[in-house]
Chain A
Amino acid sequence: MSDDVRQNQRPEEQPGEIEEEIPVMSAPPPPTPRKAAAMGNRNAPPKPPVFAEEEEELLVTTPPPPVQRARTSAPPPFWSDRQNDHAHDDDVPISGASASSLYENELELRNLAEQTNTNVDAMGKLAAGTLKLIADNMRQMTDQQIERVNEMLRGIDLKDYLDPAFWQGIGMILRYQVDEQMAFIKRRMSGQYVTDAYGMDREIIDLVRPSLMFLYRTWWRVSVEGVEHVPAEGRALLVGNHSGVLPWDGAMIATAVAEEHPAQNQRLVRSMHLHWFSTLPFVSPALAALGQVPGLPENAIRLLEQDELVSVFPEGLKGVGKLFKDRYKLARFGRGGFVQAAIRAQAPIVPVAVVGAEEIYPMFANAENLAKLLGMPYFPLTPFFPWLGPLGFIPLPTRWSITFCEPLRTDMYDPAEADDPLTVLGLSELVRTTIQATIDRRLEERSSIF
């Protein structure tokens, strides 16, 4: 949560930013001397300690440029929210201490990474992102579990991310945390919890949010444009291009809206998924718990009428099961059902262009016969799947961008016009060309897929 600002900043803007943050984040231990000492003690530093010390100096002493001040203080609810968040952390003594020292480490690694060469830089950012994931997860753990994590942490030199032992230790902690989360879900199955009629479960959403944030910030380094076009309240239909074999794009659009929207109200996006997923054991309740809804027009209209944010991918299977050679060419937009739903519910349509998701699983062929045999809509063959087994599920860490375009109003249409094919197909084509044009523009701006 706290690094979203940092990430969006250019390096020279950082000092001002950090000066703001330090008092909030590291409230229990006085940061500078301890950190400097730690740096000095290290045997195999990825960079000389002198450098690091200089940097600490830089962080604390450089007065922030006045322009920056104005910028950071511009949206006050944003900052005040954040401070409350961390203040709350400090209420719990153990978690507060250990989570915030992890955040410190994360910050440090990020700063180090800024100054090294590119390969190590990527590694450092990954390490920082992973530490943040662990810290975020810790905020939802019990004291005993936190104690356990702290014990594991004590064995690891948190600054030495070039040492395989660092990754081994981190891997162990993450596995422990995932195990605990699964155990939590299982325990809850036999306890009491509430869901809505679609099966959405707020607690599960909160539980997986840190992991989604890790994918969003660290793995895919998503950059967002135009998120203010999503209304802060009231209904809207987000229409995106579908890609990438598994529907990660829906999850990232939802994360972008929850985390980056200027209103900062953590708005939930209800994604529409293919109803075929509802027939799969375990997948079906998992998707439902995360707030996804079977993609039927009645469901879309109903949710929109309840003033929810709904996201749809009109390409459907044709999009998500697209071959690598067809990437970024939008498929047909169904029969315009999404436009009908938007007109009936008088909800604005926000076209969303996702770039980067096409390359996460480069699918060079679709084994159609095998898919038919297994009753699946498609069976992807990628360089890694199914040859590497479960490892083939790991998506490539491409760099993503998500662009929210200007909303298209539908309130000038009469709801009865939802039955007019000319209006519906015309509007559907307009949305499609808008998304295609935005994708093309973003593709031109992109220098590398990683």
Chain B
Amino acid sequence: MTRVLINGIDSHLGAQVAQRLSVFPEVSIIGLGRKTPPAPVGRADWLLAHLSGLQMVELLRAEAIDVVVQLAFVEHGASREEAVQQNVLGSMELLGACAKAGVQRVVLRSHTALYGANPLNPTYIAEYRPLAKINGPGWLRDVFEVEQFSAEFAARHPQLSLVPVRCAPLIGDSSPLITYLRQPNPSMLAGFDPCLQLLHLEDAAGGLAMAALSHAPGPFNLASSDTICLSQAIKLAGGKAKIVLEPVVSLAFAMGNRAILGHWPFELSFLRHSCIVDTCRAHGDLGWAPEHSAVDTLMALQADEPDLARRELAAEALRAFLERRNEGVHDE
């Protein structure tokens, strides 16, 4: 019996991971989050709470958790202070609690952008490549900080195996890259057209679930097996690229105007160079293979857009309605 705790079950990704794990009868799953899960979570039981470090230890001990999957990251929508609190300090607290409660394995969601976009990187970046120093947007800096801290933490706690799973930009839920692609005129740099890898939400969930149940040491890269040029990605998402000159961008940056690139979620260098990862290790050690190509994922995004939003609205309304009804029944 493997007991898994998913921290961040209140995200689409968390719900999907829970579903994937529910397939295995010998796995018991507990979800931890702050809101109700937005999608079905299979056999998982969930707890909606904001636990402190010691309460977390108590929970982990009481449930005899073996594996923790850490997905509770805020990428956008929260204030900077709140985000650091949850992303960095929350992860540190969780790692500390895991070490104390004797958890064997922690799977940490991370990002491929941590390798940086650099012409000195090989075109396919493998996991042994050192991470680049991130100066860019806040959420990526948080992910970097968590990886750095967890590497140090793992060195000091050899009994706990820490597995960062570096995912390419996710498509399927709201994500910073989708915000960028959904703009009518996303910005691109003149004279550059980097290639992108994407990752469908379902493939990401599959990879995280496999990483949770396997005993292979990490880290693992997860990404679609095909690549797509940025100009093509913009086109498939239904927009038209706005070309900006690099000196103009640099000048605007120097003057503190970061808005010139619109919602580009990465550093400026990612508009110049590709950041493509090698997923051989996930294929070999986890037996993971992506089911969705980057192109299909983006096409589906364009097709589903209104549909998806409508379905989500309806689901929320239904949930609220049923809750109200239930309360009414109990009152009577």
- Residues of A at the B interface (CB closer than 8 Å) are 189-199, 275-276, 278-285, 293-294, 296-299, 302
Contact = CB atoms under 8 A, between A and B. Distances in A.
Interface string B217-252: 000000000010101100110001000001000000
Contact of A302 (B119, B121, B124, B274): B124
Interface string B267-295: 00000111010000000000000000000
Contacts of A279: 119, 272
Nearest to B192: A281
10 contacts: A192-B236, A195-B229, A197-B195, A278-B119, A281-B189, A282-B191, A294-B123, A298-B123, A299-B123, A302-B122
A394 to B, nearest CB: 23
Contacts of A195: 195, 227, 229
Contact of A197 (B119, B190, B227, B246): B227
Contacts of A281: 189-192, 246
B193 interface: yes
Given A296-B120, A302-B124, A192 B192 contact: no
Contact of A199 (B229, B246, B272): B229
A192 B235 contact: yes
Given A282-B191, A298-B124, A196 B119 contact: no
Contacts of B229: 193, 195, 199
Contacts of B120: 275, 296
Nearest to A280: B191
Contacts of A297: 122
Contacts of B123: 197-198, 293-294, 296, 298-299, 302
Contacts of A283: 191
B191 A197 contact: no
A191 B234 CA distance: 11
A196 B197 CA distance: 11
Interface string B141-173: 000000000000000000000000000000000
Contact of A298 (B122, B189, B191, B231): B122
Interface in B91-120: 119-120
A284 to B, nearest CB: 6
Contacts of B274: 197, 199
A296 B122 contact: yes
Query: Per DSSP, are chain B's interface residues mostly helix, strand or loop, or mixed?
Result: loop
A56 to B, nearest CB: 52
8 A-B pairs closest in CB distance: A281-B191, A298-B122, A278-B119, A282-B191, A197-B227, A275-B119, A296-B122, A285-B193
Interface string B179-193: 000000000011111
A298 to B, nearest CB: 3
Contacts of B272: 279, 284
Given A190-B235, A197-B227, A199-B229, A285 B192 contact: yes
Contacts of A193: 229, 232
Contacts of A276: 119
Contacts of B191: 280-285
Contacts, number: 66
B227 A196 contact: yes
Interface string B195-217: 10000000000000000000000
Contacts of B227: 195-197
Contacts of A278: 119, 273
Contacts of A294: 119, 123
A195 B190 CA distance: 19
Nearest to B189: A281
Contacts of B195: 195, 197, 199
Given A192-B232, A281-B192, A298-B126, 5 more contacts: A190-B240, A193-B229, A196-B227, A281-B246, A302-B124
Interface in B300-314: none
Interface string B26-39: 00000000000000
A287 B324 CA distance: 62
Contacts of B119: 275-276, 278-279, 294
A190 B195 CA distance: 15
A268 to B, nearest CB: 16
Interface in B21-77: none
A231 B236 CA distance: 40
A298 B125 CA distance: 9
A380 B122 CA distance: 29
A189 B189 contact: no
Interface centre among B122, B190, B246, B273 (most CB of A within 10 A): B122
A197 B276 contact: yes
B132 to A, nearest CB: 15
Contacts of A196: 227
Contacts of A285: 191-193
B206 to A, nearest CB: 22
A64 B274 CA distance: 57
A318 B210 CA distance: 49
Contacts of B246: 281
Nearest to A284: B192
Nearest to B227: A197
A278 B193 CA distance: 11
A195 B196 CA distance: 11
B118 to A, nearest CB: 9
B278 to A, nearest CB: 8
A299 B126 CA distance: 11
A172 B229 CA distance: 34
B189 to A, nearest CB: 7
A136 to B, nearest CB: 27
B242 to A, nearest CB: 13
B190 A299 contact: no
Contacts of A296: 120-123
Contacts of A191: 235
A32 B236 CA distance: 54
A194 B276 CA distance: 16
Interface centre among B122, B123, B246 (most CB of A within 10 A): B123
A280 B120 CA distance: 14
Nearest to A300: B122
A278 B189 CA distance: 14
A196 B119 CA distance: 17
Given A276-B119, A278-B119, A197 B124 contact: yes
Contacts of B276: 197
A429 B123 CA distance: 28
B122 to A, nearest CB: 3
A280 B246 CA distance: 11
A302 B229 CA distance: 21
Interface centre among A189, A197, A299 (most CB of B within 10 A): A197
Contacts of B122: 296-299, 302
A278 B123 CA distance: 11
Contacts of B232: 192-194
A296 B125 CA distance: 12
A284 B195 CA distance: 12
